[in-house]
């Protein structure tokens, strides 16, 4: 249920995840879950020591932790365009399509950075503590009154030279369907005078087909999504880091959001073009009207 009429809401649900996924055996699944949990716990012990390290070494350690978590859960990551995140010390708003709890793990496996996340992440087991320790900027997405302070805090972090990861769709989608990039947080990039760096995330199987298995959708719990992800055989995360878009490339935040969304959707469409994709289950788009209102109103 929405807390306010403009709160993003995805129509994706359990029906978006097919039941015929290639799966590993139950013992292998258990090993994956235990391994991923162990490395997350390891990260909690490492976190207090990170401020003592030089920036380059700290980033290598954090990247190792997140890449190890990906491997432990049974996923491989393929990164393209990593050099676009080398901005010579400038801050940047890093935006991506939002599919899974694994998104933040994948992005930090590419390049460790701060993030803006929903306040609920703070309470997630292990991941929440790691996110807080990494300087996550939390936002109460159910409160419109919290929006100006969220933009102001994000602006300050960008001006200070931080890369900050934001998921502008405002909620998770299954990956085959996607939402619109809300413009509000793009104002922070304009205010700070920093570029926007889009990242297109794609989850696929070894045969090249997209998979919705890692999606964190509907009313399911985090544990349900994690357990389903650990069952998948041959999961690959593609992270396409796209060229930076300067904040003055558009007239306003709506135009900047549209440019970033177009870059992501065009990249994903190109990756899928040559590979037959599974049919997407019928999704009711009864919220499409309110979604459009959200794009034009959440400012």
DSSP 115: E
Q: For residue 145, what pLDDT is reported?
A: 72
48-57, 67-76, 174-183, 186-195: which range is least confident on average?
Answer: 48-57
Distances 271 to 166, 174, 178, 260 between C-alpha atoms, Å: 23, 17, 15, 17
pLDDT of residue 41: 83
Q: Does 283 have pLDDT greater than 70?
A: no
Q: What is the pLDDT of residue 50?
A: 77
CA separation, residue 208 to residues 73, 88, 131, 214, 271 (Å): 19, 35, 31, 15, 9
Say if residue 3's pLDDT is above 70.
Answer: no
Average of per-residue pLDDT values in the chain: 84
Question: What are the tens digits of pLDDT across the range 123-163?
Answer: 776 667 666 766 777 776 666 676 788 889 899 999 999 99
Residue 190 has pLDDT above 60, yes or no: yes
Query: What's 197's DSSP letter?
Result: E
pLDDT at 280: 52
What is the pTM for the complete model shown?
A: 0.84
Angle between helix axes 102-110 and 55-73 (nearest 10 degrees) is 140
- The strand order across the sheet containing 114-118 reads 75-80, 235-241, 196-204, 92-96, 163-166, 114-118, 137-139
Q: Is 122 helix (H, G, I), strand (E, B) or coil?
A: helix
CB 246 within 8 A of CB 131: no
Who has greater pLDDT, 50 or 6? 50
d(CA 173, CA 34): 27
The CATH topology of domain 78-221+234-271 is Glycerol-3-phosphate (1)-acyltransferase (3.40.1130)
Of 150-159, 177-186, 205-214, 256-265, give the range with the top mean pLDDT. 256-265
Mean pLDDT of 111-131: 76
Domain boundaries, the chain: 78-221+234-271
Query: What is the structure's pLDDT at 279?
Result: 56
pLDDT at position 274 is 63
Task: Mark out the alpha helices in 47-125 (DSSP H runs).
Answer: 55-73, 102-110
């Amino acid at each position: 249920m929405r807390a306010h009429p403009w709160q993003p809401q995805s129509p994706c649900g359990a029906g978006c995840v097919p039941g015929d996924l290639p799966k590993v055996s139950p013992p292998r699944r258990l090993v994956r879950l235990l391994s991923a949990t162990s490395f997350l716990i390891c990260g909690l012990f490492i976190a207090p020591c990170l401020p003592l390290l030089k920036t380059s070494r700290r980033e290598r350690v954090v990247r190792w932790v997140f890449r190890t978590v990906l491997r432990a859960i049974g996923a491989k990551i393929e990164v393209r365009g990593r050099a676009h995140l080398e901005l010579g010390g400038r801050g940047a708003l890093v935006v991506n399509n939002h599919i899974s709890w694994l998104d933040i793990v994948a992005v930090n496996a590419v390049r460790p950075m701060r993030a803006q996340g929903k306040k609920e992440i703070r309470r997630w087991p292990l991941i929440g503590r790691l996110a807080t320790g990494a300087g996550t900027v939390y936002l109460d997405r159910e409160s419109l009154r919290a929006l100006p302070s969220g933009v102001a805090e994000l602006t300050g972090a960008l001006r200070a030279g931080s890369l900050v990861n934001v998921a502008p769709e405002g909620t998770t989608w299954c990956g085959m369907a996607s939402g619109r990039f809300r413009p509000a947080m793009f104002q922070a990039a304009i205010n700070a005078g920093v570029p926007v760096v889009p990242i297109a995330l794609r989850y696929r199987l070894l045969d090249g087909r997209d998979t919705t298995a890692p999606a964190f959708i509907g009313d399911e719990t985090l544990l349900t999504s994690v357990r389903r992800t650990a069952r998948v055989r041959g999961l690959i995360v593609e992270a396409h880091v796209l060229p930076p878009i300067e904040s003055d490339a558009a007239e306003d935040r709506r135009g900047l959001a549209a440019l970033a969304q177009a870059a992501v959707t065009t990249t994903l469409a190109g990756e899928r073009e040559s590979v037959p994709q599974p049919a997407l289950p019928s999704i009711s788009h009864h919220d499409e009207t309110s979604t459009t209102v959200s794009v034009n109103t959440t400012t």
